[in-house]
Structure 1
Amino acid sequence: MSMVLRALIVDDEYPARMELRYQLSQFPDVEIIGEATNAREAMTLINALDYDVIFLDVQMPGMTGIELARSLKGRAVVPKVVFVTAYENYAVSAFEIPATDYLLKPIEADRLAETIQRLREAKAASAGEGRPEKTGEAERPSAEARPQLSFLLCEKDDKQIPLPLNEIVYIFSEGYNVYVQTYSDRLLTRHTLQELTERLPSTQFFRSHRSYIVNIYQVKEISPYFNGAYIMKLKDKEHSEVIVSRANVKRMKELFSLG
């Protein structure tokens, strides 16, 4: 199975981020687990998570993309950098950093495919995929590769909020965005639901549906729904109701010791 490339998109223009997100969605092994509108936001996300690649605009308010990429040198884990810009004249500076690639907007599909293949090869080389396979039990991924979250980084009113996990009632996706519901507030997070499913404690957080993750300690009531599904009423101010899809009912019953 191919390894997933965990990507961060950094661009101050919303249409540009959405276009790149769409183009990257054509590659099943690319997972976008963060977006930032400037270098300051990007650095906060980079400090919180390990990314394989940053798709980075050059000209942004405040610190430029070139300056951000230079500031990453010397870190224990340095993501690959792919510059995405409308300007050709920064290419020399970009490859001095060095950057993995330099893409000009609008990005051509074939050109992006070349970049993704280059990133795949770099990750495979760093992981030693080219080595002969070992006999016996297959090696398991190191737990350090995807460390468990101890808090969830959220956003509200241009502020970064490190939210303690016990304050989360549930998490849900809406369009391109993922939101975190607390008792009385709703916050945006740049994580994807899939990443949160992997990195939140499985003894506390339950993926009840493809669009929802629930903190099981914030469940007030559980009721049968229809076609084998269930509904959870939660302990937030609005007593939100979240569906448990039929495919996830077995796991729900295990978590709550239901017969």
Structure 2
Amino acid sequence: MVQIALCDDNIQELEWIGRLVSGYLAGRPELDGSLRRFQSAYDLMDCIRERGGFDAYLLDVMMPHMNGIELGQAIREAGGKSPIVYLTSSPDYAVQSYRVRAYDYLLKPVAADALAALLDKLAAELQERRETPLLVRTRDQVTPVHPGELLYVRVRDHVLEYHMADGSVVESGTMREPLDQTAAPLLGDGRFVKINVSYIVNMSFVQKLAGGSFLMRDGTVLNISRALAASVRETYIEYILERGKLPQIGV
């Protein structure tokens, strides 16, 4: 999961940039991303003290009482090492931003394509730094599978099929252990849930929970067993709400 904090005292800027970031995250479900908005540097620092830091910060420079540079210093003094991106209407603050080891800065008004390009670069570095791939033993080699790019796992004829977001499928060699044992690393990851005896699903790629099925973003429909229906529904709703989103639930 990539957690981003956005802080800007200007409500119009906060809403505009927030929409851009939320739209970007919606288009990149593999990031399992969330965004929290703050209109005050003090509110952001209070949140950090209460719940811990974020994976990345987007900070306005010109803010009253505590400006963005001072906020960045406070984050660093609190032990935060995550990337800081500054949002400013003037490039004059670029030098000051590097005093807090800023990752980059964007000029206002922030353009959607410029923000997306920066978030692409930032997300790639965060994912590479954080995610350990699964090492899947196939018939003739060992293949790394990144959980963030995995839609779902299916077991068929004692073989595990890892269905990836790019449409590819990685097949394991013959599986001798139960699915729960073989896929234990995934079941210990908050993004994944077992929906029946044969499938484990990455909820970040679920487009909609409809009746007794998950509609995946690639159009695949995966049926949830009656025995697991209540617990899967509860797990999915909790997962979505924790990320500040509204679950898509149909009938």
- After TM superposition, the structure 1 stretch with the greater mean CA deviation from structure 2, 27-36 or 86-95, is 27-36
Q: TM-score, normalised by structure 2?
A: 0.52
- Give the counterpart of 1:197 among 241, 246, 249: 241
Instruction: Give, in whole Å, the separation in 2 of the partners of 1:118 and 1:26.
Output: 16
Q: Which has the higher helix share?
A: 2
Mapped pair 1:44 → 2:46: yes
Mapped pair 1:15 → 2:18: no
Where in structure 1 are there 5+ consecutive unaligned residues? 146-192, 200-206, 212-244, 248-259
**How big is each residue's C-alpha offset from its partner over 1:24-82, in whole Å with a ceiling of 9 and x where there is no partner?**
12212474432211211110122233421111001111111111111222545533211
Letter in 2 for 1:133: L
Indicate the structure whose relative CO is greater, using CA pairs within 8 Å and at least 6 residues apart. 2
Q: 1:38 to 1:194 in 2, by over 3 A?
A: farther
Q: Name the % identity.
A: 24
Aligned counterparts, 1:32-111, within 5 A: 32-49=34-51, 50-73=53-76, 75=78, 77-111=80-114
Q: 1:246 to 1:122 in 2, by over 3 A?
A: closer
Structure 1 moving runs of 4+ over 3 Å: 29-33, 74-78, 140-145, 193-199
- After TM superposition, the structure 1 stretch with the greater mean CA deviation from structure 2, 10-19 or 59-68, is 59-68
Q: 1:198 to 1:93 in 2, by over 3 A?
A: same
1:38 and 1:62 in contact (8 A); partners too: no
Q: 1:127 to 1:59 in 2, by over 3 A?
A: same
**How big is each residue's C-alpha offset from its partner over 1:231-254, in whole Å with a ceiling of 9 and x where there is no partner?**
xxxxxxxxxxxxxx775xxxxxxx
Instruction: Give, in whole Å, the separation in 2 of the partners of 1:20 and 1:46.
Output: 21
How many residues end up aligned between the 2 structures? Answer: 155
Letter in 2 for 1:139: P
Q: 1:62 to 1:195 in 2, by over 3 A?
A: farther
3-state SS, counterpart of residue 90 of structure 1:
helix
Instruction: Give, in whole Å, the separation in 1 of the partners of 2:88 and 2:109.
Output: 8
Instruction: Give, in whole Å, the separation in 2 of the partners of 1:24 and 1:115.
Output: 11
Letter in 2 for 1:91: A
Q: 1:127 to 1:106 in 2, by over 3 A?
A: same
Q: 1:141 to 1:90 in 2, by over 3 A?
A: farther
Match of 1:139 in 2: 185
1:21 and 1:32 in contact (8 A); partners too: no
1:8 and 1:34 in contact (8 A); partners too: yes
The structural deviation recorded for 1:139 is 2.1
Instruction: Give, in whole Å, the separation in 2 of the partners of 1:70 and 1:141.
Output: 38
Letter in 1 for 2:123: R
3-state SS, counterpart of residue 92 of structure 2:
coil
Letter in 1 for 2:49: N
1:11 and 1:17 in contact (8 A); partners too: yes
Instruction: Give, in whole Å, the separation in 1 of the partners of 2:122 and 2:16.
Output: 20
Q: TM-score, normalised by structure 1?
A: 0.50
